[in-house]
Chain A
């Protein structure tokens, strides 16, 4: 068989890498605030993302209160409802999910997992975080700006995004949103180049690309995609700013607003949609691929079994990443673009289902004949498979152009994307945090609290989003602050909406338990030791826990095998760390 099998271990020449080139902090400020250590930057990214995520959580409560109990709450009117959904969507997709997976997990894990001392450009890495923080602050500022934040929907479609019929369209809201996005992209580019170059250039001896943990493959591929996709959003944001502030007409045709002829003319609203979705669809996978990678590592570690079909998993990640650049217009089947595009984009979209399905099969086949430990990370992994499978399958409805026609712009779409790129990746984030928390802090998170948090979150999220599909099938449109008396909507739909809202409140509240657990375990959690899960990957083999500056002490670890040597026949333990030298020529491994 191939090199990934331990039988093919080969010796690695020693190579002393002195750590002189690292920048060492001299004060508390440079160590914990303006830090150039990727681990600290990763934690800063994660905490900031979670903080802004809490804002998005509260916004989701507010919109669910409105949908479940329309015209009960006087402080929620249509403009504020649109502001809530817009800010909720944008925060979750960009400022929480993208930032947490790439900036948070990426920064913390890439150098440790590939055996590097740090990111290759630590100073740019530090700047990346501070620009991200600035982007978040600009976004938050729009809540306090005159007229409030934009209510254009997270897709920000012109012309309405910059006209007076939309909250924030003629005020500060849309300007701050576009500026914040531009800043986010600038900050991300600094971090993203770091992740890519670190993976390509700073791997330790023996860490071939095909020995890298799938977490690194997922984050690496997602970062490459983000570097290619975000510029489309960047130019879209800048062009819309020009339309709004300088009176250009990139996206603005001649139009009459409220009986008034405006000065615009000749632009194309659909051009913005192409730019937006050329970013927006890869964005789905920018969030999904790190989740795929992390789940692969969690499932393998906690099922004590090698990931099944590693090479297929790598090629599936790369293939999905490439394909995701030629499917964007499946978000635009009813946008009025040329109808022939439907044939092409439906075909490419459904083709992407094949590598995605392979990944699901391989996760299941990793469970099969495993030695499954139902730890909290493993539970979240199982929940990820359920919700991702559910959301992926409903994607086959929406991707199949003609099926999309009745369903697009309904609650079916809302349910689908929440399941597949909301709930599923967040399950992975939780699983990942419970998994790596012991490495970051040296202590385990509380198990009982973790399990309560898991069951409420998983079952609650499923109860929220599974029935929601059927509201969309019925024909309830999305982005309605209330459906009101409508001939085809039965009264029972109101009851379902109220039920969904109550569950959403409960699931949101359960996240407070998670936050409490994060803080509580910092002091009170059980001592974890260096490798509490008996994992093979390098981050668990550091000389110190939490790892010190430079990660590895005097010498970076040499790597002798792939990351999934679990349950190797004949080995003393049921795992062999990547950096453990082969015992004898014949003793370790045998044939796979």
Chain B
């Protein structure tokens, strides 16, 4: 098997898995199953990021998203015990119709804009594209202010969460 064919198979299977798992997340009856499918969908999206040469983002996706945020989801699911919800038949039909409508409405402008000529994978990029080195130098030079703002936001979130969940002392 040639490397290009292997890469193509990997790309298309990661894409279709991401889409199918997202559908399962939205339509699954059991919330815990939906959360597990969401983790898998984020992992296949990380495979797509690696194929697009965004290796640091792929690592952050696996570590922070799949490892941190989704574990929080499952923790909350087990703590609160959400019962599974059923979909009605009419809802399903409306859902599929809306999806097709929005797909056509979004796909037509997109295909007019980029056409078959724009092939993302074949454009050449710099050596440090997507690595921690390139990412870090851009983040800490051009985006240093936004980076600091994000840290302030996260501190505010921590204070807010502690305030919301504390026990009344009186």
Answer whether A and B are interacting partners: no
Interface positions of A (Cβ within 8 A of B): none
